[in-house]
Amino acid sequence: MPGILDLIKSRKSVRKYSEKHIPDEDLRQILEAGRLAPSWMNVQSWKFILIKSRGNKDLLSKLSIGQAHVKNADALIVCIGDMNAWEEAKITHINNPALNPALQGENGLLVRTMEQVIFAVSYMMLEAESLGVKSCIIGALGNEITGVESETYREVKTKLGIGENEILSTIITLGYETEPSGTGKVRKDFDAVISLEKNGNKF
């Protein structure tokens, strides 16, 4: 049984997939990992839409500036930031913005909503990896933040039933690798990003 760090090391962005289908049971398990992710004040400001149909994959590839792996993945998880999720937090007695993101203004709320979604995305990617399912995060797409592909985005929102104050933030592509390759991790050195007590002090 691999540990979490083993999964983190083996996970990599895979952009070419075989024809093999992912069992529904495994897709459920991946989505469950997202549902169980942590969030600030347990706000769970996310929604996930599983996509398997050719038509929706093509439409979402168009939204992602034509990225081929969005079209060719076996399944996609559309991750939505739900800005409505903070409504309850807005009316709690916690009136310090540092403690309550609902009071951090419009930009703050957007950042916080996306922040929560990304935890869920990470959980789902690692769960996929544990099941031998490869993935890639798609952030290059049209939405309220990038302002591109606005017509396609409108079409996507209608077709997928994405409502008011809900932002399509990320797509996760899922599938089996055509041929296993190395981990290919290119990362900054440990000492370049990790310090002890003070930035730049070696741990």
Ligand X SMILES: Cc1cc2nc3c(=O)[nH]c(=O)nc-3n(C[C@H](O)[C@H](O)[C@H](O)COP(=O)(O)O)c2cc1C
Of 94 and 119, which has the nearer Cβ to ligand X?
119
Based on the shown chain and the rule CB under 6 A, indicate whether residue 7 belongs to the binding site for ligand X: no
Based on the shown chain and the rule CB under 6 A, indicate whether residue 185 belongs to the binding site for ligand X: yes
Shortest reach from residue 44's CB to ligand X, in Å: 20
Shortest reach from residue 100's CB to ligand X, in Å: 26
Residue 160: other Cβ atoms inside 10 A: 17
Of 12 and 16, which has the nearer Cβ to ligand X?
12
Of 12 and 52, which has the nearer Cβ to ligand X?
12
Best CA proximity match to 63, nearest among 158, 165, 176, 175 = 158
Q: Which residues contact 65 (CB under 8 A, 6 or more apart)?
A: 140, 141, 142, 148, 149
Are 124 and 33 contacting, i.e. CB atoms less than 8 angstroms apart?
A: yes
48-54 contacts: CB < 8 A, separation 24 or more? Answer: 48/77, 48/78, 48/79, 48/80, 48/120, 48/124, 49/77, 49/78, 49/80, 49/160, 49/162, 50/75, 50/76, 50/77, 50/78, 51/75, 51/76, 51/77, 51/78, 52/76
Shortest reach from residue 199's CB to ligand X, in Å: 23
Question: What x/- string results for residues 29 through 68 when contact with ligand X is judged by CB under 6 A?
Answer: --------------------------------------x-
Shortest reach from residue 70's CB to ligand X, in Å: 8
Based on the shown chain and the rule CB under 6 A, indicate whether residue 84 belongs to the binding site for ligand X: no
Shortest reach from residue 134's CB to ligand X, in Å: 10
> Which residue type, as a one-letter code, is found at position 140?
A
- Interacting residues with ligand X between 90 and 149 (CB under 6 A): 136-140
Of 98 and 193, which has the nearer Cβ to ligand X?
193
Q: Rounded to an integer, what distance in angstroms lies between the CA atom of residue 67 and that of residue 149?
A: 13
Of 39 and 135, which has the nearer Cβ to ligand X?
135
Kindly list the residues in this chain that would bind ligand X in the complex (CB under 6 A).
Answer: 12-13, 15, 67, 136-140, 185
